[in-house]
Amino acid sequence: MSERPAIIQNPILPGFNPDPSLLRVGDDYYLATSTFEWFPGVQIHHSRDLVHWELVAHPLQRLSQLDMRGETPSCGIWAPCLSYCDGTFYLIYTDVKNSRGLMNDTPNFLVTAPAITGPWSEPIFLNASGFDPSLFHDRDGRKWLINMLHDYRPYKNSFSGIVLQEYSEQEQQLIGQRRVIFGGTSMGCTEGPHLYRHGEYYYLMCAEGGTGYAHGVTVARSRTLFGPYEPDPNGPMLSSRHMPWAMLQKAGHASLVEGANGHWYLAHLCARPVGDKRRCILGRETALQEVYFTDDGWLRMKNGTDYPAEKLALPIGGDSTPTGRNLLEDFDGPFISSHLQSLREPLGSRADLTARPGWLRLRGGQSLFSHYGVSLLAHRQQSFYCQAETRLSFAPDHFQHLAGLTYFYDELNHISLAVTRHETLGRVLTMIRTRQGESDLPLGAGIPLPEEGDVRLQVCTRKETAHFFYAVRPGPLTAIGPELDATLLSDDAYEEIGQMRFTGAFLGIFCIDLDRYEKAADFAYFSYSETEGL
């Protein structure tokens, strides 16, 4: 009797998991995704069936590999490319230093490892001519780097094509001539290139149309490596741009793999809008589609359309019931959960699991508005309906000491509930709400708290809205502050004011000391749970 098919509900990696690079090595599948300013850099998930995915690696864990201190929001790690050849894993990535002026600063690097879990090498600098690099291993053993080419001149197209150059593993550098092999199509914003060889053709897969609602996947092919590359005459093989009703929007930036079962699969970026303004608070996510090559050698969607399917039946079998993405980090072990990330750099000595066993001691760092030394530990939001909770022990000396729970996009859009001190009220609970860079204090001077005792904090999201709660042990949770607009924590909120952002919402714990960077708060636990359907 054959096994029943597994039904995948897209997205397979919900929440901020953009720019997927899909790889198969034997019976193992790996997905690498962008992390931008969140540290450690690059997330790699593993699966044996394309249904169940587990976070197994953050390759860039040392400052010698990745130093993002001072980088502005949505810089950092863009579009990693994961590949494998002759027993070695290769990871190519951009560490964007600047993307807001006339000229971009986009150094591209390579690290390698004998296993997906490492150890990963020190980085090799490759070039900085543009972002979204990818490494292609040809059948003859030669290796080729491709990336988009950025042109800073105002009278030129800034997305000026895809360039290819040979990489010498022996010399650990690019060699030979740099060639422009593809200029893109009329969709524009040609980026995210991946090169494949199948049958008698080289296939160049690119993202086009920008990373918003006009996003799409373009495929071009050539009988020779250097081109010319002929775009698919049918246009983009995947896009949601003409389907405003589709659940999965912004479909694009894809990578291709042949499955162990002989079928072909495409991992691609997508997003799910909510509310009247169609903002995507979960950021750009990763979905999976089945595709095939036609008799005349073009890549097509198995669902018979050019837009993404919400569900996918896999001839693999096994339990496809969602297991949820709940986390309870009780800080009892020697390491902090890999599902929690910091901003731009490791917390280092600012995080201590030994000073008070069973607790995390978080030493106060700079404010949540800073690009340096922020003491923040956060979990990406992966469901429209979720809650995060913590319990902290904190005795602030004055108003410049704050610690608590935050619902965070970046320094210009976040909402925090914090324990601090007021000159006349004593220890208080305050809320700081920052919207497009403008901050206010919805609770005014704050809600007075007992001078002694732990404080329990919780934030609950309900699609477009969020609400905070608090309790002084052992009392019950009480709602505090106004109903909050969660849609501000989105790329789209920035796009509406003419700015570009590329990440997603996080929920986390923080400690701030604006005086001496030394006042500490102790956290008993941090939990993240998904509540949809409860």
Indicate which residues carry an active-site annotation.
19, 191
Contacts 24+ apart (CB under 8 A), 323-326: 323/52, 324/529, 324/530, 325/14, 325/15, 325/382, 325/383, 325/528, 325/530, 326/527, 326/528, 326/529, 326/530
> Could you give the angle at the alpha carbon of 76 between the alpha carbons of 70 and 77, nearest 5°?
160
Identify any residues that bridge with 426 across adjacent strands, giving them in sequence order: 422
Cβ-contact 234, 242 below 8 angstroms: no
- b or e along 462-478 (b: 16 or more beta carbons within 10 Å of the residue's beta carbon)? eebebbbbbbeeeeeee
Number of other residues whose CB lies within 10 A of the CB of residue 351: 20
In angstroms, rounded to a whole number, what is the distance separating the alpha carbons of residues 534 and 523? 27
Residues 6+ away with beta carbon under 8 Å from 254:
20, 192, 194, 205, 207, 217, 238, 266, 267, 268, 269
Calculate ∠ Cα 482-404-39, nearest 5°.
115
Tell me the two tokens of residue 419.
């324990």
Q: Which residues contact 15 (CB under 8 A, 6 or more apart)?
A: 282, 283, 285, 325, 380, 381, 382, 383, 504
Question: Coil, helix or strand for 514?
Answer: coil
DSSP SS3 for 494: helix
Quick check: helix, strand or coil at residue 349? helix
| CA–CA separation, 469 and 460 (whole Å) | 8
The pairing of strands 249-258 and 230-231 is unpaired
